[in-house]
Amino acid sequence: MIQGTGSDVGKSLIVAGLARAFADRGIRVAPFKPQNMSNNAAVTADGGEIGRAQALQARAARRPASVDMNPVLLKPQGCAGAQVVVRGKVIGAAKAREYQDWKPRLEPVVLESYARLRAKSDLVLVEGAGSAAEINLRAGDIANMGFARRVDAPVVLVGDIDRGGVIAQIVGCKAVLDPQDAALIEGFIVNKFRGDPSLFDDGMRFICERTGWAALGLAPYFPPAARLPAEDSFGLRTGPASGDGKITIAAPVLPNIANFDDLDPLRAEADVRLTLARPGEPLPAEAALVILPGSKAAIADLAALRACGWHIDLSAHVRRGGRVLGICGGYQMMGRAIADPCGLEGDAGQVEGLGLLDVATVLGAHKTLTQVRGRTIADDVTFSGYEMHMGETNGKDCARPMLRFEDGGVDGAASADGLCAGVYVHGLFADDRQRAALVRSLGGAPSSFSYEKSIEATLDGWAAHLERHLDLDRLLGLAR
């Protein structure tokens, strides 16, 4: 089990790299995260949803993603707490304190999923959540040491030297953990090192002496890892604008942004400059296209958008002839209204939308989860992606749909002047054909870059990087 000293120390990527490295040795590897909290999710082939990181790890392990790989997924949705997804299906919502009472009921589900994966694998790589040292959440824990104790999993602790204080991170974990929990930790990895590794030799020795844990390696910072889909929006909020192309594409970063990896492939286009606007920053006036990304709480994010003044920027953008594309929750915000009669996102009621599309959305308990293929209606370009949303959108502009599925169904809406459009389908720009069509429509020259091949190459490179810098033979020998 790979646990961390905190969030965003690199646990997810370490598991992905190990999965690829061990799979390339001919080992049947399965990733597993008992409990995840993320609004970046993926749809499995069997019609469920799991954390995006576990889908990436499954890909690294060269096996299909399964709901058993992430049996409990918590999706924060503003004032409504978190949506609780169990084995790929929504079972309800809970506030943080309420969820503590759910854990005993969820533990058997977690253990059953783990047992199924273990029966079909030579090696299960388990990823913890947040910090191993969250002793305030230890009672009933199913995400970190509680799970490790339950299944007798040896633990490797990952610390992030890039954020500073890694010696205190790791030694501090040993200091606060219950002795029986600490006894499960066999070794540690220091991640994201920059500079001369010999300068940290004394640091590694000190950690070994103070903890009694084995040093399994010092992993240097690996810049290409930024190409891989992120588990949560921490990096997205702090990352700079990317590219210096002649076409500016902008997206506002809202509090409940979801499935934001829709934007990642655009970074690879030489003619595109992707700008992420934070609260307090205007949407750039030079933008050719503004994308409103997905949201786990569209009504709350619509209020946040207005509080930032971005609705004024959007109106000015459209008056100048700029284009707007809404994806999923962003599509819902673009309509005349969003109704939540059941109070799924907070108080029941209806709010006024941005009015960029003549449509209205009614949120409902049914959640659409499906992988889709088809062709764009305007230019007949093939696409593939996935749907993941609650609610139905209808109105006059739906008479101008954007996408036609293989089964004949349609998705999306467009304004009469064609400047504003919305779709429910995620993952469109990971499809090289769709991304190329978008860049051409904005007056640019699309690159010959293959997004999916780049992900594979990055996983291969990351696995080779870990082979060079970690003691993978010793790590594998720890597995019981």
Q: Are 13 and 113 in a shared domain?
A: yes
Determine contact, residues 156/148, Cβ cutoff 8 Å. Answer: no
Catalytically annotated residue among 311, 317, 389, 426? 426
Rounded Cα gap, residues 428 and 327, in angstroms: 10
Q: How many other C-beta atoms can be found within 10 angstroms of the C-beta atom of residue 10?
A: 22
Q: Are 311 and 388 in a shared domain?
A: yes
Would you say the C-alpha torsion 251, 255, 256, 261 has a positive or negative sign?
positive
- The whole-number average pLDDT for the span 404-429 is 96
State the pLDDT confidence band at 219, using cuts at 50, 70 and 90: very high
Q: Are 188 and 279 in a shared domain?
A: no
Sequence letter at residue 275: T
pLDDT at 240: 47
pLDDT at 238: 44
The total number of structural domains in the chain stands at: 2
pLDDT at 230: 75
| Helix, strand or coil, per DSSP, at residue 14 | helix
**311 is known as an active-site residue:** no
Q: Which of 96-100, 127-131, 239-243 is predicted with the least confidence, judged by mean pLDDT? A: 239-243
Would you say the C-alpha torsion 3, 8, 14, 15 has a positive or negative sign?
positive
- The whole-number average pLDDT for the span 143-171 is 96
pLDDT at 170: 97
- The whole-number average pLDDT for the span 405-413 is 96
The mean of the pLDDT values for the chain is: 94
Q: Is there a domain that residue 461 lies in?
A: no
Sequence letter at residue 343: G
* Residue 428: CATH number of its domain: 3.40.50.880
Q: pLDDT tens digits, residue range 283-321?
A: 999 999 999 999 999 999 999 999 999 999 999 999 999
Q: Is there a domain that residue 475 lies in?
A: no
- The whole-number average pLDDT for the span 14-36 is 98
Take residue 448 and report the two structure tokens written for it.
Answer: 């010959």
pLDDT at 347: 83
Q: Are 202 and 249 in a shared domain?
A: no
Q: Are 275 and 175 in a shared domain?
A: no
Q: Are 77 and 197 in a shared domain?
A: yes
In this structure, what is the dihedral angle of CA atoms 191, 194, 199, 205, given to the nearest 10 degrees?
A: 0
Q: Is there a domain that residue 212 lies in?
A: yes
Please determine, for residue 180, whether its predicted confidence score (pLDDT) is greater than 90.
yes
Q: pLDDT tens digits, residue range 324-351?
A: 999 999 999 999 999 999 888 878 899 9
- CA-nearest of 354, 293, 286, 355 to 321 is 286
pLDDT at 231: 66
Catalytically annotated residue among 173, 308, 311, 328? 328
Query: Which domain, by its residues, includes 6?
Result: 2-227
pLDDT at 252: 97
Q: Is there a domain that residue 426 lies in?
A: yes
Determine contact, residues 278/60, Cβ cutoff 8 Å. Answer: no
Q: Are 244 and 188 in a shared domain?
A: no
Determine contact, residues 49/388, Cβ cutoff 8 Å. Answer: yes
pLDDT at 237: 47
Domain boundary among 199, 227, 255: 227
Q: pLDDT tens digits, residue range 106-138?
A: 999 999 999 999 999 999 999 999 999 999 999
- The whole-number average pLDDT for the span 417-427 is 97
Take residue 424 and report the two structure tokens written for it.
Answer: 């429910």
Q: Are 213 and 263 in a shared domain?
A: no
Determine contact, residues 387/425, Cβ cutoff 8 Å. Answer: yes
Q: Is there a domain that residue 252 lies in?
A: yes
Determine contact, residues 470/216, Cβ cutoff 8 Å. Answer: yes
| Helix, strand or coil, per DSSP, at residue 311 | helix
| Helix, strand or coil, per DSSP, at residue 19 | helix
Look at 226 and 424; give whichever has higher pLDDT.
Answer: 424
Q: Is there a domain that residue 479 lies in?
A: no
Q: Are 9 and 140 in a shared domain?
A: yes
Domain boundary among 197, 227, 257: 227
Rounded Cα gap, residues 473 and 22, in angstroms: 10
Q: Are 261 and 223 in a shared domain?
A: no
Give Cβ neighbours of residue 315 (< 8 Å, ≥ 6 apart). none
State the pLDDT confidence band at 188, using cuts at 50, 70 and 90: very high
pTM given for the model: 0.92
Q: Are 218 and 310 in a shared domain?
A: no
Determine contact, residues 143/110, Cβ cutoff 8 Å. Answer: no
Q: Are 199 and 245 in a shared domain?
A: no
State the pLDDT confidence band at 239, using cuts at 50, 70 and 90: very low
Q: Is there a domain that residue 192 lies in?
A: yes
The fraction of the chain above a pLDDT of 70, given in percent, is 97
**426 is known as an active-site residue:** yes
Q: Is there a domain that residue 122 lies in?
A: yes
Take residue 443 and report the two structure tokens written for it.
Answer: 């007056």
Rounded Cα gap, residues 380 and 399, in angstroms: 17
Query: Could you identify the residue written with the tokens 């915000």?
Result: 333
* Residue 188: CATH number of its domain: 3.40.50.300
Domain boundary among 227, 261, 286: 227
